[in-house]
A and B are shown apart, each in its own frame.
Chain A
Amino acid sequence: MDVRALLRKEALTVRRNAGLFVVVLVLLPAMLTGVTGVYERSIPEDVPVGVVPADDNTSETELAVTRTGVDSFATPVAYDTRAAARDGLAREEVYLVVAVPPDLGTEGADVEFTVVTDRTMVPFEEPANLSVAALDRRLDDALVSDVTVTHDRIGDQRVLTAYLIPVCLVAFVLVYGLVFVPYQVRSERLVLDRLQTTSRLETVLATKIAFYGALTIVPIAVAALVASWMGFDIATLSVFSFVSLILTFVLVAAVGLTVLFAMRLRRLALFANVGLLFALLSLSAVVYPVGFFSPTRKAIARTLPTHYATVTTRSAMLRDAPMALYADYLLWVAGAAVLALGGLVLALGYYRRRQ
């Protein structure tokens, strides 16, 4: 019977491409459903919150008391000065900063806490309001003084769409570098033999990365045009955003090509890269701020260069902050890109040896 014969043929195809089907039918669904665990709660419970003295009269005891109050709904992070705490806010180390006034232990004294949040973090707006209210309630209960909490919102007012533009560009660069460029190289796999008779594979791939990296300017410019058309005032075309996105591209393109050559240009490598893409998108906290996630997920995100690439791109476009403030983030992304390029050289050596 025709159908039986055709089904048998499909079964044989699965058997001959077992690795591919394991990735598509087992690993990808597992990864996708696993990603849902990222959104384990709608209101963050372990948000890093900066605690800083409001002025020189604030004592260490008062800071400790405040940290204890914060600890019940967030993770306190100590800063010495307000400027350092605001920098921490801009670098997304913390999502609220609590400025602690003196005289907390004076019964009946009016004390005013100031909670600073960044309007750039649009998804965090509501959780921030809830956190401020919780802080107000807890401090008022815990202290003998008369507590008021003032909410100071810094940065330009943004809407979710504007917040998502840098997010989309980072996501695009991840897809472009991790999937599209390896796909392009694989589609020319036959010609690589000929190229090897005249050039080095390293040169061929370096040219590819440089060319497609330069082409990244096009989607950035398109995003700038769309943002402008939508009436958003965001710095899409700044040097800072170019540096951040192109470094990110070099990093993920090198990783994608490393996987491709380590797997000897097999089709399976493209699916492995798609899996890697999902993993990076979810674990790097590209869409939601890392403050939303559990301490474990936060720790994972903060080891990934793609997380820092997201923060720097977002800051470049949405915050009026100097690039120097993110120098260590950019260095980590650049260092990871260099490591990935080293991995690519090793993968090429392996590929050549196995020929």
Chain B
Amino acid sequence: MVDHDNTGSTGDDSASQVPDSPSTAPGAIPPGHDDSTPPERDGASPMARDEPIPMAHEPMVDDAAARVFLVGVTKRYGSTTALEDVIFTTEPGTIHGLVGPNGSGKTTVLRLIAGLANPTTGRISRPAGATGYSFQEPRFFPDLTVRENLSVFRSLADDPEPVSWVETLLSALRLEPVETRRARDLSGGFRKKLDLALALLDRPQLLLLDEPLADVDRFSRRKIRSFLTSYATDDRTILISSHNGDEFADAYDRLTVLVDGTVRADGAPDDEQVAAFREYYS
């Protein structure tokens, strides 16, 4: 399990312990966490802040290492607070939606989980296995072709997947027609698909997708959705950030609604409190 810990000025190690006992449910506030809640903002959610966040189901002990935990995570950039006391947990074998309007802090959450940024306070834990990240703004070597990008990033892995997996990705994401084209010359949709392919290259246990279907054509969307749904099995988790939640509306197993940097609801899509934010995901 990979931990990012920043307990801020409290210096209280106990507050940063990630629970891995069977008594701790996903979404529940873990032991040792200060459960004081931030003040309600404008446009407050219907979810009372002093209520425990709804639980999806009791986790298996063996699942603990495969889950992502965010415990009391706050992220500030100077005087701007991007996230405030964010708490949620993902379950292996599920597609977890992180939904909310623009600027609600979804990308910040993904960057923190990926270890690309550090929380100001709080603790983050993710599976020790490979983490794939498809960025909101695609990230690849612009001067290399699609295939060269895949080849270079594949060889960066300690234990690269077989070449046949690259072929599978090229086919599943419909990248074959542009595989010899320079990445900088790709259209927006193909850029996004290349970024998604790069995120999947290590067959990661945790897949972080930031607006994965932006600019992608309708046919490809169906194909990608189907591919991702079949990918999220066993110990694999897909965390999808989207301000246009209907892209995966039928695929989500669980949703976390983020508004103005705070978690307003967390639970199954049909959960009453989550459903109150349906506008963000259906």
Q: Give me the interface of A with B, judged by CB distance under 8 Å.
A: 187-188, 190-191, 193-199, 352-353, 355
Contact = CB atoms under 8 A, between A and B. Distances in A.
B115 interface: yes
Contacts of B115: 196-197
B133 A197 contact: yes
A191 B138 CA distance: 8
A198 B135 contact: no
15 contacts: A187-B142, A188-B141, A188-B142, A190-B137, A191-B139, A194-B140, A194-B153, A194-B198, A195-B156, A196-B115, A198-B153, A198-B156, A199-B156, A353-B118, A355-B117
Interface of B: 111, 114-118, 131-133, 135, 137-142, 153, 156-157, 198, 202
Contact of B116 (A187, A193, A199, A353): A193
7 tightest Cβ-Cβ pairs between the two chains A and B:
A194-B139, A355-B117, A198-B156, A190-B139, A191-B139, A193-B139, A197-B133
Contacts of B141: 188, 191
A193 B135 contact: yes
A191 to B, nearest CB: 5
A197 B137 contact: no
Nearest to A198: B156
A188 B118 CA distance: 22
B206 to A, nearest CB: 11
A264 B15 CA distance: 32
Given A187-B142, A190-B137, A355-B111, 9 more contacts: A188-B142, A194-B135, A194-B139, A196-B115, A197-B132, A198-B153, A199-B156, A353-B118, A355-B117
Nearest to B149: A191
A197 B131 contact: yes
A267 to B, nearest CB: 17
Contacts of B132: 197
Nearest to B114: A197
Contacts of A188: 141-142
A199 B202 CA distance: 13
B133 A194 contact: yes
Given A188-B141, A191-B140, A191-B141, A197 B116 contact: yes
Nearest to A194: B139
A352 B115 CA distance: 10
A199 B156 CA distance: 7
Nearest to A191: B139
Contacts of B142: 187-188, 191
Contacts of B131: 197
Contacts of A194: 133, 135, 139-140, 153, 198
Q: B111, B114, B132, B139 — which one has the most chain A CB atoms within 10 A of its CB?
A: B139
A188 B133 CA distance: 17
A50 to B, nearest CB: 53
A348 to B, nearest CB: 14
A355 B119 CA distance: 10
A164 to B, nearest CB: 34
A198 B158 CA distance: 9
A171 B137 CA distance: 38
A213 B198 CA distance: 29
A190 to B, nearest CB: 5
Contacts of A355: 111, 116-118
B227 to A, nearest CB: 20
A308 B137 CA distance: 45
A266 to B, nearest CB: 16
A189 to B, nearest CB: 9
Contacts of B138: 190
Nearest to B133: A197
Contacts of B117: 355
Contacts of A199: 156
Nearest to B156: A198
A193 to B, nearest CB: 5
B157 A198 contact: yes
B116 A196 contact: yes
Contacts of A197: 114-116, 131-133
A187 B118 CA distance: 24
B137 to A, nearest CB: 7
B93 to A, nearest CB: 22
A188 B111 CA distance: 18
A327 B117 CA distance: 44
B228 to A, nearest CB: 19
A187 B132 CA distance: 23
Among A193, A195, A197, chain B packs the most CB atoms within 10 A around the CB of A197
A353 B118 CA distance: 7
A193 B139 CA distance: 7
Nearest to A355: B117
Nearest to B183: A191
Contacts of A193: 116, 133, 135, 139
A188 B144 CA distance: 11
A188 B202 CA distance: 21
A190 B202 CA distance: 20
A188 B153 CA distance: 14
Contacts of B156: 195, 198-199
A314 B32 CA distance: 67
Nearest to B134: A194
A193 B131 CA distance: 13
A188 B139 CA distance: 9
Contacts of B135: 193-194
A290 B67 CA distance: 65
